[in-house]
Amino acid sequence: MLPGQSISGDRVLISIQSVKLSEIRLPLVHFFETSFGRTYERRIILVQLGSGEAVGYGECTAGEDPLYNSETTDSAWHILSDFLIPRLLGRDLESAADVAPLFGPVRGNRMAKAALETAVWELEARRKGMPLWKHIGGTRTEIPCGVSIGIQESIEKLLEQVRREVGEGYQRVKIKIKPGWENEPLRAIRSEFPDLHLMVDANSAFTLNDIPLFRRLDKLGLMMIEQPLAHDDIVDHAVLQREIATPVCLDESIHHAEDARKAFEMGSCRIINVKLGRVGGFTEAIRINRYCLEHNIPIWCGGMLESGVGRAHNIALSTLAGFVLPGDVSASKRYYARDTVCPPVVVTERGTILAPETPGLGYELDWERIAAATVRTQQFSTEKGKPADV
Ligand code: OSB
Ligand code: MG
């Protein structure tokens, strides 16, 4: 038997004996602009778990600044090192599904939780010799892909970018909008691409006073409008959804399956964007998938400008049966000149990504790239840190 693995009855237990956090800095090939700001360089926390011979990798999707949600790279590092890692280290787990309840008493901080939780699922998949996507119950072997296009400096630049992505074969295009960058750029895209599967993401930049604008957008045949109103709202979104024909899709407002249920029951949205970080990891994402399948609600996998590790987790998530719409899971090269995995994530000319066949992530880590990008690391192990007394 491997160290870190023990048999209790016929249950295989996992016990995480070491955790390494690494902060890497990765410049984006082009800045990414949303209604809340511009990002030029990502500060990403990578998680490496050890349990006997087995390893597992995770990525924290918190942003550099608390503008998408309240978490940041630094707040996640703090929550991971002072609260979550001590709870996890040395504890016997029956399966990766035990991690989310273990973190339950810690409020919020779902991106920090997901960085560890997804890494335990990945470790478990490797130990079983299975691709992560099969291990979580995925069924799709090829996932439909869309792109998210940031706010551009001119309509001409936006059109160039849309032409490029359509040429690459992506199945739908989402553009970021903010007050003053909505109707005009969208009409320009529509006149050149009348049949394009097109949608928008406002990242909470509008209010109910903008209903006349949303009525105008209704005429553009958009697939959906993502998170038009406040980041913490599901009440006003229900009012807006009653006023417009275009489906509302919620992102920021949905933190777990219960939020999803309430939002659908209230009519706040017709579609959900699921992000592993925002919901705390695979366990909760799988719960949302199950609820939406039972209620015939379409969902899709969102993105947070992940490097290869997080991108591979998103690919796995997108293979679940409920993820019927193209997600924001796209090729590595759109964001990074050299990704943290090799080969990088690539998209077929059909605008799909093929689910990998090798165990775990299904991508090798590019250690040379990671080492060159690392600015700090911290190691934790069962010898140093005992499990928290909870
Ligand atoms: O709201 O979906 C969002 C990126 C950073 C923060 C929030 C969002 C996004 C994206 C990018 O839209 C999606 C991607 O990773 O390609
Ligand atoms: Mg969004």
Q: What is the per-residue pLDDT across 307-330, written as a single tens digit (0 to 9) for each?
A: 999 999 999 999 999 999 999 999
pLDDT category, 133, cuts 50, 70, 90?
A: very high
Respond yes or no: is residue 275 known to be catalytic. yes
Model confidence over 191-241: pLDDT tens digits?
Answer: 999 999 999 999 999 999 999 999 999 999 999 999 999 999 999 999 999
Q: Is 239 exposed, middle or buried (0-12, 13-18, 19+ CB in 10 A)?
A: middle
Q: How many CB atoms lie within 10 A of CB 129?
A: 10
Only one residue has tokens 């800045």, namely 31
- H helices of 129-169, in order, are 132-135, 155-168
* Domain 134-365 CATH assignment equals 2.40.50.100: no
| Residue 380 tokens, joined | 């934790």
What's phi and psi for 103, nearest 5 deg? -90, -5
What is this structure's pTM?
Answer: 0.95
The yes-or-no verdict on residue 153 having pLDDT over 80 is yes
pLDDT at 13: 86
CATH number of the domain at 5-129+370-384, out of 2.60.120.10, 3.30.390.10, 3.20.20.210, 2.40.37.20? 3.30.390.10
Is the confidence at residue 8, as pLDDT, over 80? no
Question: Is there a catalytic annotation at residue 176?
Answer: yes
- Average pLDDT of the chain is 95
Length of the chain: 390
Ligand 2 center–CA 321 separation, angstroms: 21
CA of 304 to the centre of ligand 1 (A): 4
In this structure, of 3-17, 179-193, 264-278, the range with the lowest mean pLDDT score is: 3-17
d(CA 356, CA 362): 5
Query: Concatenated DSSP letters for 49-86?
Result: EEETTEEEEEEE---SSTTSSS--HHHHHHHIIIIIHH
Q: Is 304 in the pocket of ligand 1 (CB under 6 A)?
A: yes
Q: Which residue of the set 113, 134, 174, 275 is catalytic?
A: 275
Identify which ligand lies nearest to the alpha carbon of 175. 1
**Domain limits, the chain:** 5-129+370-384, 134-365
Q: Report the C-alpha dihedral over residues 220, 314, 62, 241, rounded to 10 degrees.
A: 30
More confident residue, 7 or 249: 249
Backbone CA torsion sign across 88, 48, 83, 59: negative
- For residue 389, is pLDDT > 50? no
CA nearest ligand 1 atom 7, residue: 304
